[in-house]
Amino acid sequence: MTPLRQRMLEDLRVRNYSPKTQEAYVYQVAQFARYFNRSPEELGAEEVRAYQLQLIKGKRTSWSSFNQAVCALRFLYGTTLGQSWTVEQIPFPKQPRRLPSVLSPEEVERLLAAVTNRKHRLVLMVMYATGLRLSEATHLQVEDIDSARMVIRVRQGKGRKDRLVMLSAVLLEELRSYWRWCRPTRWLFPGSTPAKPLHITAIQKACSRARKAAGIQKPVSCHTLRHSFATHLLEDGTDLRLIQTLLGHQSVTTTQRYTHVATPHIVATTSPLDRLHLVAAGPDL
């Protein structure tokens, strides 16, 4: 390990960045250095700009990967190397605004019914019942289920924050039945090695197979259940700030995007075409 990489890792740890973020930032900086075949200490603003343009031209780079590279380089030059030009010369890209894919309640029923593995089905059910991210659901521990208070404790979610979400009565019965069948000890959803939680890839594959089996044509991922949870709560009249808290969003702006896919107000709005008195069209000539 080079001294620069070691110093950057130490800076990340001191600031309590998650192990996953540490790994991602170090990887992005390594890719940057590999592109120029030089140490980042020998590179500057012009090279960063050229690298950003190359990522854009590559076309296969997603927005999230591009944004991650920018965050990593900002941290490297701004924090670890203490360069004053960082903020001005490494701009954040403008994120594409896309509406999340949302399932109807009937589609959620079909999707869950199509999951053949009991454990996988329950993980997806937890995501829809609580709005948890996939990694948060798979890392639940048995003691996180508080049936006395009817809440679930989420440990160190995104942003390294704990939070509480509601425990549905229906979900509680499913969990009790599952516990009697599986008898988990530490992890609620243990993997093939009981000492480790179930790997997220297993759930992603199960969700993909279930979408096809259920005949759902729209794009569906595990995260779609989180989107559906938030949208259905909003459609039922739940306060936006409460949904923000349940989802663990730092800003309500992130939560507000669900107002664009909640349908009751849209469907209830009269189109101006309906106010016109149009003459019925005659038969085609």
**Tell me: the pLDDT tens digits for 52-87?**
888 878 666 777 788 889 899 989 998 999 887 665
The structure tokens listed for 259 are 């107002």
Catalytic residue positions, numbered = 133, 158, 223, 226, 249, 258
Its pTM surpasses 0.85 = no
Query: What percentage of the chain has pLDDT greater than the value 90?
Result: 54
The structure tokens listed for 132 are 């948890």
pLDDT of residue 19: 86
- Tell me the fold of 3-89: DNA polymerase; domain 1 (1.10.150)
Mean pLDDT of 106-134: 95
For the domain spanning 105-266, the CATH number is: 1.10.443.10
Task: Give 90: exposed, middle or buried? Use CB within 10 Å, 0-12, 13-18, 19+.
Answer: buried
User: Which tens digits make up the pLDDT trace of 229-265?
Assistant: 988 988 888 888 888 889 988 788 777 777 766 766 5
Ordered by start, the domain boundaries in the chain are 3-89, 105-266
* CA 180, chain centre distance (Å): 31
Name residue 165's beta-bridge partners: 152
Rounded Cα–Cα distance for residues 52 and 47 (Å): 9
Name residue 187's beta-bridge partners: 141
Task: Give 129: exposed, middle or buried? Use CB within 10 Å, 0-12, 13-18, 19+.
Answer: buried
pLDDT of residue 64: 78
Interaxial angle between packed helices 200-214 and 105-113, expressed in degrees from 0 to 180 and rounded to the nearest 10: 110
User: Which tens digits make up the pLDDT trace of 183-199?
Assistant: 999 999 999 888 999 99
What separation in angstroms does the CA of 43 have from each of 82, 91, 160, 176?
Answer: 13, 17, 32, 57
pLDDT of residue 87: 54
SS3 229: helix
* Mean pLDDT over the full length of the chain: 86
SS3 212: helix
Residue 282, pLDDT above cutoff 60: no
| Three-state SS letters, 139-180 | CCEHHHEECCCCEEEEEEECCCEEEEEECCHHHHHHHHHHHH
User: Which tens digits make up the pLDDT trace of 14-67?
Assistant: 998 888 889 999 999 999 999 999 999 999 888 988 888 888 786 667 777 888
Rounded Cα–Cα distance for residues 42 and 38 (Å): 7
